[in-house]
Structure 1
Amino acid sequence: MTPEIRQATVEDAEAAAWCHLQCWQEAYAGLAPADLLAQRTANVPQRIERWTQALSAGSVRWLAINPAEEADVRDRVAGFSISSPGRDEDSPVPLELQAIYTRQAWWGTGLGTRLLDVAVGKDPAYLWVFENNERALGFYARQGFVADGERLHDEFFDLWEIRLVRT
């Protein structure tokens, strides 16, 4: 069964927050220090509140809904994507892919490509990705993104990021 992709509503905040934290745990295991990763993914109420605030403020976020009919709130969302006008002062293109994640069970199924398509389509866009995240780098390369030479330190996970751009 294929997940339905739809725009998130405030009512989705809890399930989306669970997906967000679990995606971090799955995607960043082995990249971020284990103790830091555990700390950064432990505050579920705070992440729910952040999703609630963003959705209440009108942020457009796309969710992939788990097709399992009785999915627990922790597994209701299989992935998500978020885009916006570029936030960097030197945005190389006007559109930024802020986030795209799928749960590990959905890796390699094409769900990430579908979430990318609803978030940015084929338009020029840029994003930041951890420089040692080989799986993500491969995905973005297949979608036409290339490094533009910009690099910054992410304090939250204590990792270096590089900027990728698709023109």
Structure 2
Amino acid sequence: MDYVLRQAAPDDAEAVVLMHTAAHEESYGHLLSPAFFAERRRSIPERVARRRPYLDVPHPRILAIDSGGGIVGLADAGPPRQEDAPCALELYSIFVLARAQGSGLGRALMAAALGESPAYLWVLEENTRAQAFYRRQGFAFDGGRGHLPPEWEGVPELRMVRGQPAA
């Protein structure tokens, strides 16, 4: 299957939120409660409104579009959200719908969002499939630990870093 990668735009907000919602259900269905997903679906209109300005920035907000024009993947990156970040670039998220997984699309999205730059990311502690993908892309755990906010049920997460500068 062929995909086109492009920078997202504010007009993509609804399609991005719908794809993100589906990806969360596919990826985290075993980690979060049914009530969490019901709330995510209920909040789609508000999330679309919040997503529009988020997509109107120069930072990588990369979409993967399939031959039918649907969004099947996304990756976004930018400046660190934490003051004690291990490097100057954070991969905020990367998702590929199940039907496109195993195609090399995740690797292509990551390359488009990060290039070869040193970067870090947060991954759910129990998401071993994502952790394996990140290890194949040169990321390693650096000991950073955290928890998602209460609205995400406080799920534990771990930090991974690629190309960390020597101290």
TM-score w.r.t. structure 1 length?
Answer: 0.90
SS at match of 2:42: coil
Is 1:125 equivalent to 2:119 in the alignment?
yes
Q: Is the 8 A contact 2:61 2:76 kept in 1?
A: yes
The one-letter code of the counterpart of 1:61 is R
Structure 1 runs, 4 residues or longer, greater than 4 Å off: none
Verify: 1:20 aligned to 2:24, yes or no. no
What is the CA-CA distance between 1:35 and the residue it aligns to? 2.2
Q: The residue matched to 1:56 in structure 2 has which SS?
A: coil
Output the CA distance in 2 between the equivalents of 1:166 and 1:64.
Answer: 23
Q: Secondary structure at the match of 2:152?
A: coil
Q: 1:64-115: per-residue Cα shift (whole Å, max 9, x none)?
A: 01212xx5xxxx2111110001121111011100111011111111111100
**Structure 2: 5+ residue stretches without partners:** none
Counterpart CA distance in 2 for 1:41 and 1:140 is 28
Q: Which residue of 2 aligns with 1:29?
A: 29
The AA in structure 2 aligned to 1:165 is V
One-letter code of the match for 2:103? T
- After alignment, is 31-40 or 128-137 more displaced? 31-40
Correspondence list, 1:1-167, <5 A: 1-56=1-56, 58-68=58-68, 76-155=70-149, 156-158=151-153, 159-167=155-163
How far, CA to CA, are the matches of 1:41 and 1:58 in structure 2?
Answer: 28
Contact 1:17/1:44 (CA < 8 Å) preserved in 2? yes
Query: 1:54 is aligned with what amino acid?
Result: Y
Equivalences, count: 161
CA contact (8 A) 1:28 1:37 kept: no
Letter of the 1:141 partner, please give it: R
Letter in 2 for 1:102: V
Question: Matched residues in 2 for 1:114 and 1:41: separation?
Answer: 28
